[in-house]
Amino acid sequence: MVAPIQPVPGPGLQSIPPDLHICSESNRIGRYPSTAAGSMPILEIRLRASTAAEPVRKRDCNMRQIQLTPSTDHELPARMMRMHHVCLVVSDIDATRDFYVNVLGFEEIHRPTDFVFHGAYFRNGDVEVHVVRETEPGRLTKHAPGWDGEELRTGLCHHFAVMVESFEPFLAAMRERGLERVGGPRVRDDYVEQIYIADPDGHIIELLYQHTPDAGHARRIEIFDLGIAVPVAPGHHVLDPRATYGLKPTNSQDHMR
């Protein structure tokens, strides 16, 4: 708490109500018209309220109330957020642009012109990806995390995820460029299917598709029978979905390839 200080006599400063503290003062010449008695003291005066619900008041040097503000400690804004963008460091802006626009369906949007480094902004629906070019050639490769195949298959790696209405448009565009997914598929027990793809610099993007419960059950069995289902983590085996859902188990060795 700020200790009270004694007021400095001056024009217009007559008396201070007992419920007020002087928090600060300054003799700033030119802030008010000068008088024969000198410059007018500038005061910020705060009410020491008797209860938390009472307001903080500021008064001018003539004790006229000039502002009301709440002083309760619990009236802070809620700590709500929304995702704004993901930023990635890339080696080639043109190759990145081709991937995000022509494979993932983003549109390139305006980027502020006052940056001193090269980059680009892309948006698809509510998803926004910003990219910046590495500061020197080879820096990105030098500091790449180097995920192994099992980590990529299961998604145990740095990545960002987007929900899609279908995997096929993205996978078809990748196949046209000779690319394939690097991880998945896996259907979680909330019936969300996951696959993972990589951009030209190896940044991992997870694509998610929400199945209905019946479709999710069927899809788990389908990818298991095709031998393309992945485990939940490196070193774990793929569970037979028939056993999970109370159906007759099959020999997993007959279905994995």
Residue that terminates a domain, selected from 144, 163, 184: 144
Q: Do 157 and 256 fall into the same domain?
A: yes
Q: Do 48 and 139 fall into the same domain?
A: no
11 domain residue, yes or no: no
List alpha helices for 181-228, DSSP H: 213-225
Q: Cβ-count burial of 238 within 10 angstroms (0-12 exposed, 13-18 middle, 19+ buried)?
A: middle
pLDDT at position 177 is 94
Residue with tokens 């485990």: 231
pLDDT at position 70 is 54
Full-model pTM: 0.67
CATH code at 218?
3.30.720.110
DSSP conformational letter for 157: S
Q: Do 29 and 92 fall into the same domain?
A: no
Q: Do 150 and 242 fall into the same domain?
A: yes
Q: Do 59 and 126 fall into the same domain?
A: no
Q: Do 130 and 201 fall into the same domain?
A: no
Residue 93 belongs to domain spanning: 81-144
pLDDT at position 101 is 98
Two tokens, residue 206 = 């997870």
Three-state SS at 179: coil
76 domain residue, yes or no: no
5 domain residue, yes or no: no
214 domain residue, yes or no: yes
Two tokens, residue 137 = 């050639």
221 domain residue, yes or no: yes
Q: Count how many Cα atoms sit within 13 Å of the Cα of residue 135 in the half-sphere of its side chain.
A: 2
Cα–Cα distance between 131 and 154 in angstroms, integer? 25
E strand residue ranges, 53-94: 56-59, 65-69, 86-90
Domain count for the chain, please give it: 3
Cα–Cα distance between 15 and 62 in angstroms, integer? 9
Q: Do 176 and 243 fall into the same domain?
A: yes
Q: Do 235 and 168 fall into the same domain?
A: yes
- Fill in the amino acid letter for 202: G
12 domain residue, yes or no: no
Residues 6+ apart with CB under 8 A from 137: 91
1 domain residue, yes or no: no
pLDDT at position 243 is 82
Pairing, β 119-124 against β 192-198: unpaired
Two tokens, residue 190 = 């909330």
4 domain residue, yes or no: no
Q: Do 150 and 245 fall into the same domain?
A: yes
Query: Is the Cβ–Cβ distance between 199 and 173 less than 8 Å?
Result: no
Across the chain, which has 257 residues, the per-10-residue mean pLDDT values are 51 50 42 43 44 50 55 77 96 98 98 96 97 96 93 96 98 96 96 98 98 96 96 90 64 43
Q: Do 103 and 122 fall into the same domain?
A: yes
Q: Do 231 and 165 fall into the same domain?
A: yes
Q: Do 98 and 56 fall into the same domain?
A: no
